[in-house]
């Protein structure tokens, strides 16, 4: 008979938690075969069997905290097992030596480290604490739902496992429905170009406001050029009515606006063709104030014929927007960024800091192809570069 004790597990370690038995009473075990797993505040370890034989008793259950040196199990060694009757010619009566009743192990605190009744070893608790994961959010894969070291490591790698059920707002639901319909019925195409952004440096030098004190954004400059370019690309200022394409003479400019926790809105600057920069800035400012105060009227949101999406953030290079039905195109504006550019002065090429902006166009393939879309964007870039910011502000 061999006693199985909890060995010393390192300097200053005086106890451990039995987290898992790999064998049950009556199972045959081989010498050095993993018998049980123990966890301390330093490490999880698999303990090997000290002898070969049959596991006859388990003295410490899973979840028990046991002092080092305590007996946790008993193995009837193979060498001490009596021969069977088939091993001799004559049957003989077996004699069984009395087995001393083993003293129980010194159990310090059963289930000392448990969450909702599930065993959590010190090392597992430390891994979860360092990773900011609550033990109660994990479904353990160990016996009785205990959390193993692998469970803890996986939970920290994946992050917190709590789930939240969030109801969509009416605005987001409507936006999603509209975008889904547009993606289904419209054969989308997309083209982007890089345009010269020197005009933005001119605006910075003059001051980013009109003479009336209204703020001027990069989006406003691009929108002005986009509206003027539509005079030469009328097929982009159009809407579908069933299977018929309606080309509009009046440009009603939609501007995409994000609404906190409620998706987006697209207020419309009606009759935008012919507006100066100062007039466009005033109209856009008035619409933005009504968006912020939620005082938009139905007319403010109706009748758009062409839409512009400004840069969603200061680091956005470009975006590929979905067309607003029943329109046929939407222009996206990237963030203006500084880049090294080659300039020629007195016949000498040098490198200087310049500004560039990426303009993109999502278009309906039923009315346009990439060549036409690119030509429109190039024209927008030309008109943008030639804007008389000082005269129009």
The tens digit of pLDDT for each residue in 146-164 reads 787 788 888 888 765 556 6
Residue 47, pLDDT > 90, answer no
What average pLDDT score do residues 157-181 get? 77
Identify whether residues 149 and 241 lie together within a single domain. no
* Cα–Cα distance for residue pair 160/264, rounded to 1 Å: 30
Is residue 41 predicted with pLDDT exceeding 70?
A: no
Residues 105 and 129 in one domain: no
**What is the per-residue pLDDT for 151?**
82
Structural domain including 57 reads: 1-79+101-112
CATH code for position 129:
4.10.320.10
pLDDT band at 145 (very low <50, low <70, confident <90, very high): confident
Three-state DSSP class for residue 145: helix
pLDDT digits (tens, 9 = 90+) for 259-268: 877 788 999 9
What percent of the chain has pLDDT above 70? 85
Domain identity same for 225 and 301: yes
The single-letter DSSP state of residue 321 is P
* Contact of 356 with 197, CB cutoff 8 Å: yes
86 domain residue, yes or no: no
**Tokens 């451990």 appear where?**
16
State whether residue 242 is helix, strand or coil: coil
Q: How far is CA 330 from CA 131, 257, 280, 356, in A?
A: 44, 14, 18, 20
**Do both 138 and 195 map to the same domain?**
no
Fill in the DSSP letter of residue 85: G
How far is residue 383's CA from residue 393's CA, in Å, rounded to a whole number? 16
In terms of domains, do 259 and 310 share one?
A: yes
User: Do residues 255 and 310 touch, judged by C-beta distance below 8 A?
Assistant: yes
What values do phi and psi take at 313, rounded to 5?
-155, 170
| Beta bridge partner(s), residue 65 | 17
Residue 92 domain flag = no
Sign of CA dihedral 371, 372, 377, 380: positive
Asked if residue 388 belongs to a domain, the reply is yes
Is 350 found in the same domain as 210?
yes
pLDDT in tens, 1-12: 899 998 876 666
Parallel, antiparallel, or unpaired for β 118-119 and 114-115?
antiparallel
Tell me which residue has tokens 């010498």.
31
* pTM metric for this prediction: 0.61
- SS3 at position 255: strand
Instruction: Among 127, 148, 165, give the residue marking a domain's end.
Output: 165
Domain for residue 320, yes or no? yes
pLDDT digits (tens, 9 = 90+) for 365-379: 999 999 999 999 999
Q: Is there a single domain that holds both residue 257 and residue 367? A: yes
Q: Identify whether the C-beta of residue 224 lies closer than 8 Å to the C-beta of residue 275.
A: yes
Other CB atoms within a 10 A radius of the CB of residue 185 amount to 12
Q: Could you tell me which residues come within 8 angstroms of residue 106 by beta carbon, excluding any fewer than 6 positions away?
A: 66, 67, 70
Cα distances from 388 to residues 154, 202, 384, in angstroms, run: 60, 10, 9
| 42 in the same domain as 161 | no
Please compute the mean of the pLDDT values over residues 351-356 and round it to a whole number: 92
Inside any domain, residue 88: no
Task: Measure the CA–CA gap between 328 and 361, rounded to whole angstroms.
Answer: 10
155 and 200 co-located in one domain? no
In a domain, 87, yes or no: no
Q: What is the CATH number of the domain that holds 242?
A: 3.30.559.10
Domain count, the chain: 3
Q: What is the DSSP letter of 108?
A: S
Residue 95 resides in a domain: no
Per-residue tokens: 352: 């200087």
Q: 271 lies in a domain?
A: yes
From the number of C-beta atoms within 10 Å of its C-beta (0-12, 13-18, 19+), residue 371 rates as exposed
318 and 374 inside one domain: yes
**What radius of gyration do the chain's Cα atoms show?**
38
Q: What is the DSSP string of 183-238?
A: HHHS-EEEEEEEEE-HHHHHHHHH-SB-TTS-B--HHHHHHHHHHHHTTT-GGGSE
Indicate if 348 and 290 belong to the same structural domain: yes
CATH classification of the domain holding 21: 2.40.50.100
What is the rounded distance in angstroms from the CA atom of residue 363 to the CA atom of residue 374? Answer: 11
Using alpha carbons only, give the angle 125, 127, 133 rounded to the nearest 5 degrees: 80
| Claim to verify: residue 192 and residue 179 sit in the same structural domain | yes
Rounded CA gap, 393 and 221, in Å? Answer: 11
């Amino acid at each position: 008979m061999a006693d199985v004790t909890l060995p010393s597990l390192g300097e200053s370690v005086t106890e451990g938690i039995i987290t898992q038995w790999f064998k049950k009473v009556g199972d045959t075990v081989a010498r050095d075969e993993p018998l049980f797993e123990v966890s301390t505040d330093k490490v999880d370890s698999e303990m090997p069997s000290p002898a070969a034989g049959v596991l006859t008793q388990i003295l410490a259950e899973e979840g028990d905290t046991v002092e080092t040196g305590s007996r946790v199990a008993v193995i009837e060694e193979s060498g001490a097992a009596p021969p069977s009757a088939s091993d001799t010619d004559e049957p003989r009566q077996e004699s069984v030596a009395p087995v001393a009743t083993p003293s129980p192990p010194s159990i310090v605190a059963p289930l000392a480290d448990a969450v909702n009744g599930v065993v959590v070893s010190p090392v597992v608790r430390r891994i979860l604490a360092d990773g900011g994961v609550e033990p109660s959010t994990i479904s353990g894969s160990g016996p009785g739902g205990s959390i193993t070291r692998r469970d803890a490591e996986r939970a920290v790698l994946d992050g917190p496992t709590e789930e939240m059920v969030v109801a969509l707002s009416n605005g987001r639901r409507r936006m999603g429905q509209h975008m889904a319909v547009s993606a289904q019925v419209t054969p989308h195409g997309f083209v982007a170009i890089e345009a010269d952004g020197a005009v933005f440096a001119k605006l910075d030098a003059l001051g980013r406001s009109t003479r009336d004190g209204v703020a001027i954004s990069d989006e406003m400059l691009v929108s002005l050029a986009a509206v003027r370019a539509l005079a030469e690309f009328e097929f982009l200022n159009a809407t579908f009515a069933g299977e018929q394409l309606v080309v509009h003479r009046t440009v009603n400019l939609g501007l995409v606006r994000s609404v906190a926790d409620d998706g987006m809105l697209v207020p419309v600057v009606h009759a935008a063709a012919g507006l100066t920069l100062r007039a466009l800035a005033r109209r856009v400012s008035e619409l933005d104030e009504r968006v912020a105060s939620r005082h938009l009227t139905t007319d403010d949101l109706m009748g758009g014929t062409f839409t512009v999406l400004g840069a969603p953030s200061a680091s956005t290079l470009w975006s590929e927007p979905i067309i607003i039905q029943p329109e046929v195109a939407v222009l996206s504006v990237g963030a203006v960024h500084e880049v090294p550019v080659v300039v020629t002065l007195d016949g000498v090429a040098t490198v200087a800091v310049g500004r560039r902006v990426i303009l993109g166009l999502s278009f309906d393939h039923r009315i346009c192809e990439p060549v036409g879309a690119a030509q429109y964007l190039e024209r927008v870039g030309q008109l943008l570069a030639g804007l008389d910011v000082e005269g129009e502000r």
